[in-house]
Amino acid sequence: MEYVHMPVLAKEVKEYLIPPTEENPVMVDCTTGEGGHTHMMLNSYPNLTVYGLDCDEHIQEKAKYRMKNFGDRFIPVHTWFDDYFKDYSGPELDLVLIDLGISIYHYEESNRGFSFKKDEKLDMRLNEKSDLTAQMVVNSYSQEDLANLIYKYGEERYSRRIAKAICEARGLKKIESSNELETIIFNCVPQNYKHGRLHPATRTFQALRIEVNNELDRIESTIINATKALKVGGRMAVISFHSLEDRIVKWTFKELAKTCTCPPEAIYCTCDTKPLVKILTKKPIVATEEENKVNPPSRSAKLRVIERI
């Protein structure tokens, strides 16, 4: 069994997520994937235990295999990270890591239509037991709803044109594969848009993946609930990969760090609000040029870190 994932911002994560040495620290890796970050942490800290969460049973098997030498210091949990923390009753945590990126495995090996470079069945579910698939979205959503989600989750300027083309195509034949959808999108956008920095299908595929997996709606509640599970002095690191994710992380961190919730017109503070965290990264940390060269997915990665107080 092989793994191909290189964890992004690994050096920076390790610099910020330092477990205490005088006890048996506990970390939750909310999005373990193939286990790049978890392997690094377990290998670096012999007294650390990591609960590795993932909603995809197939990729979790890869992580189990990769972590086999660490014995019971790696505890895999098959779940969505927001569900895990919804009614959390486990041990107080020293460290939490949330890497919101999609693993190379899903593009290269999963055969679920995440990539428009492959001709695969349009699925895009991270958890194959989920009900909604990308094929259902493109073949059943109204033109208006399609346009809105492609614009909202893909920030695609030609969202209405693409939605119209999808609806016209499915009127003739059900859209079943990633290659079919890529062709529809490529043929409907302006000529000068076809050969830009991004393939014209990139943003639409991102939007569909986010919709199918309800990705953005999981972030805020997870950060809030996981913060409550942290020990005083415990830290949480979140890696985002596009502006929609990073915006949610940034403002959720700010809310948790607030020292006053009085209305703006109040002359004096009367709320006595105590912040739950301090923000350790005033600006997001990004990858070095050296990392960008050897690990291209790191180009869009942003790391933000908080500490429980």
Residue 292 main-chain phi, psi, to 5 deg: -55, -35
What is the pLDDT, as a whole number, of residue 4?
55
pLDDT digits (tens, 9 = 90+) for 110-126: 999 999 999 999 999 99
What is the pLDDT, as a whole number, of residue 180?
98
What is the pLDDT, as a whole number, of residue 3?
43
Neighbours of 233 (CB within 10 A): 10
What is the pLDDT, as a whole number, of residue 2?
52
What is the pLDDT, as a whole number, of residue 196?
85
- The DSSP-derived string for 124-191 is --SSTTSS--HHHHHHHS-HHHHHHHHHHHH--TTHHHHHHHHHHHHHHS---BHHHHHHHHHHHS-G
Bridge partners of residue 29, in order along the sequence: 52, 97
Q: CA 200 from chain center: how many Å?
A: 22
Query: Is the Cβ–Cβ distance between 214 and 208 less than 8 Å?
Result: no
The residue among 41, 42, 34, 105 whose CA lies nearest residue 69 is 42
Q: CA 16 from chain center: how many Å?
A: 19
Q: Give the orientation angle of helix 219-229 with respect to helix 243-256, to 10 degrees.
A: 40
* Structural domains of the chain, ranges and CATH numbers in brackets: 10-100+218-308 (3.40.50.150), 110-213 (1.10.150.170)
CA atoms within 13 A of residue 43's CA, in its CB half-sphere? 11
Residues 6+ apart with CB under 8 A from 126: 55, 56, 102, 106, 213
Spans of the chain below 70 pLDDT:
1-5
